């Protein structure tokens, strides 16, 4: 059977060739050597090929669908046993949530109760979550950063050509609109970042807006422009600085709290911008971390480099 | 006023996290490596102090993470068992990194080595947190960290094989996390707690209400299955052999020696502190774990017999050894749990010893991975050969080595009063068959590496030059000694473990 054209295109695209580009033949002197793969192990089916012959494959599918269906039914049956959502008499309405709601503002100082819970009451968990972000970005760098193992010279040449093409055909409308919008986006991001203890928002939300602004900037003005103010060094400095600031604040709070020492961080007057002790600096640190991570994900998935 | 050593669990977790973050700035792989080793050594000392103090006083303590006591804030908790396991994990990670150094420098590009050590730091931090946590959700957060870091250290080698293995590992691991999270959120919905000491009375109260039988069995099952998928219990083990067999030596050693055990510790905590072992037994979850553990012991060994690749053979042996742990847990008695914890410690030293020695043997045989080509490797690199022999014989269950003690205490726990007849028969026959199969594949392997001459490589000449570095020798000697010491002087440790299970 002849493979349809769209499928061939899809294949070419998944293999990293730009569908719109002609084959780069002229400036690739040495044809790339096929990567030396390890000899695949004989035993054990490969993940992508599926096991054995066609009957085996059908059986695998039938089994997968069957087990998913059974799992879904069992889960639905379990949900029937759970209490109705939002009832007053439910188990989670207990002394834990009561104290969060009734004393949260006095004890921690932020009028946004959710921020109180995630950054102070359960600050250790949230620090763990920030480390998940850090870890995610590091894992992506480990896998996708351009190196001699994962990128051939042809890939690099393609990437350079793509950049060139991008520079020539850059969208003028996007550039102009971005120039107008950028200050507003940045202001909005900073507002959400710094008001996390007063209104819905905070580091995670504000940081994603800032990260989005960086991505927009990259699209509108090209990667060189972004590199001029946000390169490797800035990226690492900001990311590590933010996480260490966060770690110091949270460690201090935990150590002081656990050993019954006096806490010198002032709580301030609830509702004012400079209040709630460690929450504001933590929100800023989380925001910077999130912005860096988002932009890193975008750029490493795209070009494998900052 | 709080005793100062009670801060140490918190110090351990944050030292790991901070070292990981700081290592980002250290571009030099060598310095990153020293920092990681230093951090692990410091944490081993801190955990050791906590262990000594709590074991001496026979107490455990909880540590509020912040000014607000649990259930409002987070909490860590440590007794002798938690501290001992965290110390063992540190030591095993140090030895694995030392022993796998040569392969590490070869397999991972120099500019990406510091990233590898970031993963190791965060892996260590997450393991400490899993050991010390007293809160189900904190457990979940650090399971996430553990998952990503563990997948990354498989991926670090960056060959086609490891990338495929990582994808498979990641998918299975995320399924496990998801099922665990379902279980935890259901537990929260019907009890309203996440903190283990508060969950215990709430769950016990629900047990008296027959209307909750089904959801309780479901959520206990989901938590157990979620953690079982991540620790490669028998029907969910399919990701393990490729992931552990294809990664670089240090990763294989850390993954099978330490990472699998982190999840099991959380499971033990859930068994003892959210439910009681008797309740887990009455729900039928215990019997399921027992049968699956016995299945793993047989199935893993059968596949190991059929496996021609040395590292994958050892990885299949891990499947069987995890089965031993679950067999002990499935008995749902204090002795069974103590035996499982002893197996965690014994296997934590034996399996990295085997992986590290095999790495040396493979390097001394021109990087040929098949057992056939390892002929005479023990003569070319005696240190690795002796390490492999000790580890293999321990797995077979030769007396004076750690593996024998495991089988002994497991058998004793299965023969104790109150264990149903069928459970005893299943447990003992699984131990018998598994020992037989272990001998079947480890003894020929040991004979093969000590045979004279070289394997016939069809005229292809491979370089057999391998000079074991000092760190390799030190790692093999330390782990070999640990296996022998655990085998010879197991009695006080087992007594301590049995006594301390009630402190869990």
Q: State the SS3 of A53-69.
A: CHHHHHHHHHHHHHHHH
Sequence-separated (6 or more) residues with CB below 8 Å from residue A168: none
Looking at the structure, tell me whether residues A62 and A159 fall in a common domain: no
pLDDT tier, A24 (very low <50, low <70, confident <90, very high otherwise): very low
Looking at the structure, tell me whether residues A122 and A261 fall in a common domain: yes
| Domain contains A9 | no
Provide the chain A residues 130-169 that lie in CB contact (below 8 A) with chain B.
131-132, 134-136, 138-139, 141-143, 145, 147-150
B109 near A CB under 8 A: yes
The structure tokens listed for B50 are 């906590």
**Statement: residue A55 has pLDDT above 90:** no
Looking at the structure, tell me whether residues A203 and A76 fall in a common domain: no
DSSP B56: H
**Phi, psi (5° rounding) for residue B74?**
-90, 165
| Domain contains A38 | no
Q: Quick one: chain A helix, strand, coil %, rounded to 5?
A: 65, 0, 35
Give the angle B333-B338-B340 at the CA atoms, nearest 5°.
95
Provide the chain A residues 89-128 that lie in CB contact (below 8 A) with chain B.
90-96, 99-100, 107, 120-125, 127-128
The predicted structure's pLDDT at residue B468: 83
Q: Smallest Cβ distance to A92: which of B63, B192, B245?
A: B192
Sequence-separated (6 or more) residues with CB below 8 Å from residue A135: B20, B118, B119, B122, B145, B148, B149, B152
Taking residue A111's Cβ as centre, other Cβ atoms within 10 Å add up to 17
| Domain contains A27 | no
- Closest CA of chain A from B68, distance in Å: 7
pLDDT tier, A7 (very low <50, low <70, confident <90, very high otherwise): low
Percent of chain B with pLDDT over 90: 55
| Domain contains A43 | no
Looking at the structure, tell me whether residues A293 and A155 fall in a common domain: yes
Closest CA to B133 of B114, B152, B146, B115: B146
Provide the chain B residues 182-241 that lie in CB contact (below 8 A) with chain A.
182, 186, 188-193, 202, 211-212, 214-215, 218-219, 241
Looking at the structure, tell me whether residues A279 and A135 fall in a common domain: yes
Q: Smallest Cβ distance to A254: which of B65, B149, B186?
A: B65
| Domain contains A1 | no
Pick among B13, B20, B149, B192 to test the A interface (most A CBs inside 10 A): B192
The rounded distance, in Å, linking the Cα atoms of B365 and B383 is: 14
The rounded distance, in Å, linking the Cα atoms of B239 and B308 is: 18
Looking at the structure, tell me whether residues A134 and A200 fall in a common domain: yes
Looking at the structure, tell me whether residues A65 and A128 fall in a common domain: no
Pick among A124, A267, A293 to test the B interface (most B CBs inside 10 A): A124
What value does the mean pLDDT take over residues B378-391? 91
The rounded distance, in Å, linking the Cα atoms of B145 and B382 is: 38
The predicted structure's pLDDT at residue B66: 80
Question: Tens digits of per-residue pLDDT, B407-428?
Answer: 999 999 999 888 889 999 999 9
Whether B10 sits inside 8 A of A239 (CB atoms) is no
Whether B158 sits inside 8 A of A143 (CB atoms) is yes
What value does the mean pLDDT take over residues A36-64? 62
Question: Tens digits of per-residue pLDDT, A219-259?
Answer: 888 888 888 888 888 898 999 999 999 999 999 988 888 88
| Domain contains A44 | no
Closest CA to B180 of B120, B148, B134, B138: B138
Closest chain B residue to A245, measured at CA? B18
The rounded distance, in Å, linking the Cα atoms of B17 and A127 is: 10
Question: Tens digits of per-residue pLDDT, B290-331?
Answer: 999 999 999 999 999 988 889 999 999 999 999 999 999 999
Looking at the structure, tell me whether residues A123 and A236 fall in a common domain: yes
Number of domains in chain A: 2
DSSP string, B75-129: EEEE-HHHHHHHHHHHHHHHHHHHHTHHHHHHHS-GGGHHHHHHHHHHHHHHHHH
Looking at the structure, tell me whether residues A58 and A155 fall in a common domain: no
Percent of chain A with pLDDT over 90: 23
Give the angle B431-B433-B434 at the CA atoms, nearest 5°.
65
Q: Smallest Cβ distance to B148: which of A35, A139, A239?
A: A139
Residues forming beta bridges with residue B130, ordered by sequence position: none
- In a 13 Å sphere around the CA of A40, the CA atoms on its Cβ side amount to 12
pLDDT tier, B12 (very low <50, low <70, confident <90, very high otherwise): very high
Q: Smallest Cβ distance to A121: which of B24, B73, B151?
A: B73
What value does the mean pLDDT take over residues B258-265? 93
ipTM: 0.89
Residues of B in contact with A260 (CB under 8 A): 1-2
Question: Tens digits of per-residue pLDDT, B197-232?
Answer: 888 888 888 888 888 888 888 888 899 999 999 998
**Phi, psi (5° rounding) for residue B135?**
-140, 130
Looking at the structure, tell me whether residues A148 and A214 fall in a common domain: yes
What value does the mean pLDDT take over residues B87-110? 90
Question: Tens digits of per-residue pLDDT, A190-205?
Answer: 999 888 888 888 888 9
Whether B159 sits inside 8 A of A44 (CB atoms) is no
Taking residue B213's Cβ as centre, other Cβ atoms within 10 Å add up to 14
What value does the mean pLDDT take over residues B342-347? 94
The predicted structure's pLDDT at residue B73: 84
The rounded mean pLDDT for chain B is 90
Closest chain B residue to A257, measured at CA? B67
**Gyration radius of chain B's alpha carbons:** 22
Pick among A105, A121, A238, A246 to test the B interface (most B CBs inside 10 A): A121
Looking at the structure, tell me whether residues A234 and A169 fall in a common domain: yes
pTM over 0.90: no
The predicted structure's pLDDT at residue B1: 65
The rounded distance, in Å, linking the Cα atoms of B147 and B119 is: 10
The rounded distance, in Å, linking the Cα atoms of A173 and A151 is: 33
The predicted structure's pLDDT at residue B29: 85
Whether B159 sits inside 8 A of A255 (CB atoms) is no
Left, alpha or beta for B400 (phi > 0: left; psi -120 to 50: alpha)? Answer: left
* Enclosing domain of residue A58: 49-80
Sequence-separated (6 or more) residues with CB below 8 Å from residue B11: B43, B46
Helix, strand or coil, per DSSP, at residue A52: coil
Sequence-separated (6 or more) residues with CB below 8 Å from residue B60: B54, B77, B78, B79, B80, B82, B503, B504
Closest chain B residue to A44, measured at CA? B242
Provide the chain A residues 241-260 that lie in CB contact (below 8 A) with chain B.
243-244, 247, 251, 253-260
- Closest CA of chain A from B256, distance in Å: 19
Looking at the structure, tell me whether residues A202 and A74 fall in a common domain: no
The mean-pLDDT minimum among A110-124, B74-88, B161-175 falls in A110-124
What value does the mean pLDDT take over residues A45-72? 76
The structure tokens listed for A120 are 């102070």
The mean-pLDDT minimum among A168-177, B17-26, B141-150 falls in A168-177
């Amino acid at each position: 059977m002849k493979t349809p054209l769209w499928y061939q295109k899809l294949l070419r695209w998944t293999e990293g060739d730009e569908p719109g580009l002609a084959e780069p033949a002229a400036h690739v002197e040495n044809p790339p050597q096929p990567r030396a793969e390890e000899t695949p192990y004989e035993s054990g089916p490969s993940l992508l090929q599926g096991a054995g012959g066609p009957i085996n494959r059908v059986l695998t599918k039938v089994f997968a669908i069957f087990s998913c269906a059974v799992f879904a039914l069992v889960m639905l049956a379990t949900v029937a046993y759970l209490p109705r959502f939002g009832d007053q008499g439910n188990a989670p309405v207990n002394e834990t949530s009561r104290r969060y709601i009734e004393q949260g503002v006095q004890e921690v100082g932020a009028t946004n109760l959710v921020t109180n819970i995630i950054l102070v009451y359960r600050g250790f968990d949230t620090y763990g979550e920030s480390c998940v972000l850090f870890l995610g970005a590091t894992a992506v760098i480990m896998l996708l950063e351009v190196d001699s193992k994962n990128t051939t010279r042809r890939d690099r040449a393609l990437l350079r050509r793509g950049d060139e093409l991008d520079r020539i055909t850059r969208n003028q409308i996007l550039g102009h609109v971005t120039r107008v919008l950028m200050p507003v986006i940045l202001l909005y991001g900073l507002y959400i970042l710094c008001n996390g203890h007063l209104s819905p928002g905070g580091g995670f939300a504000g940081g994603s807006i800032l990260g989005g602004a960086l991505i927009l900037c990259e699209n509108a003005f090209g990667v060189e422009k972004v590199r001029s103010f946000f390169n490797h060094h800035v990226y690492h400095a900001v990311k590590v600085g933010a996480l260490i600031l966060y770690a110091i604040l949270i460690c201090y709070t935990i150590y002081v709290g656990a050993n019954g020492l006096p806490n010198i961080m002032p709580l301030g007057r609830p509702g004012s911008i400079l209040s709630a002790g460690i929450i504001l600096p933590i929100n800023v640190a989380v925001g910077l971390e999130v912005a860096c991570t988002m932009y890193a994900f975008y750029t490493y998935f795209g070009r494998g480099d900052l | 006023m709080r005793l100062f050593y009670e801060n140490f669990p918190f110090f351990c977790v944050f030292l790991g996290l901070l070292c990981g973050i700081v290592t980002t700035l250290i571009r030099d792989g060598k310095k990153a490596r020293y920092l990681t080793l230093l951090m692990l050594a410091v944490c081993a000392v801190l955990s050791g102090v906590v262990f000594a103090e709590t074991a001496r006083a026979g107490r455990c303590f909880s540590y509020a993470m912040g000014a607000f006591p649990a259930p409002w804030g987070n909490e860590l908790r440590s007794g002798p068992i938690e501290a001992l396991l965290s110390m063992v994990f540190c030591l095993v990670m140090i030895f694995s990194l030392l022993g796998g150094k040569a392969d590490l420098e070869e397999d991972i590009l120099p500019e990406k080595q510091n990233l590898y050590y970031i993963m190791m730091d965060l892996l260590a931090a997450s393991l400490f947190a899993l050991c010390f946590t007293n809160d189900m959700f904190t457990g979940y957060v650090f399971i996430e960290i553990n998952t990503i870091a563990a997948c990354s250290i498989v991926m670090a080698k960056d060959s086609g094989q490891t990338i495929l293995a990582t994808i498979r590992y990641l998918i299975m691991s995320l399924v496990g996390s998801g099922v665990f999270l379902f279980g935890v959120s259901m537990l929260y919905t019907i009890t309203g707690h996440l903190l283990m000491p508060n969950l215990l009375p709430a769950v016990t109260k629900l047990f008296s209400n027959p209307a909750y039988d089904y959801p309780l069995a479901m959520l206990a099952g989901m938590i157990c299955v979620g953690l079982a998928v991540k620790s490669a219990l028998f029907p969910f083990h399919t990701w393990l052999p490729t992931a552990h067999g294809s990664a670089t030596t240090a990763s294989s050693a850390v993954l099978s020696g330490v990472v699998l055990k982190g999840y099991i510790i959380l499971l033990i905590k859930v068994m003892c502190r959210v439910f009681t072992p008797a309740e887990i037994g009455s729900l039928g979850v215990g019997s399921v774990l027992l049968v699956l553990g016995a299945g793993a012991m047989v199935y893993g060994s059968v596949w190991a017999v059929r496996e021609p690749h040395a590292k994958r053979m050892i990885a299949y042996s891990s499947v069987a050894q995890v089965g031993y742990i679950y067999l002990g847990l499935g008995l749902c008695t204090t002795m069974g749990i103590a035996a499982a914890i002893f197996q965690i410690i014994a296997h934590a030293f034996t399996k990295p010893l085997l992986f590290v020695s095999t790495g040396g043997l493979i390097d001394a045989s021109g990087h040929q991975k098949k057992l056939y080509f390892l002929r005479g490797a023990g003569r070319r690199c005696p240190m690795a050969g002796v390490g492999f022999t000790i580890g293999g014989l321990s797995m077979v269950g030769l007396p004076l080595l750690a593996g024998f003690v495991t089988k002994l205490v497991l058998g004793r726990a299965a023969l104790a009063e109150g264990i149903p007849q069928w459970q005893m028969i299943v447990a003992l026959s699984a131990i018998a068959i598994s020992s037989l199969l272990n001998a079947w594949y480890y003894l020929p392997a040991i004979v093969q590496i000590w045979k004279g001459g070289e394997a016939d490589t069809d005229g292809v000449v491979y370089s057999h030059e391998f000079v074991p570095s000092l760190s390799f020798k030190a790692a093999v000697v330390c782990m070999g000694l640990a296996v022998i010491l655990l085998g010879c002087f197991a009695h006080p440790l087992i007594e301590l473990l049995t006594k301390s299970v009630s402190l869990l």
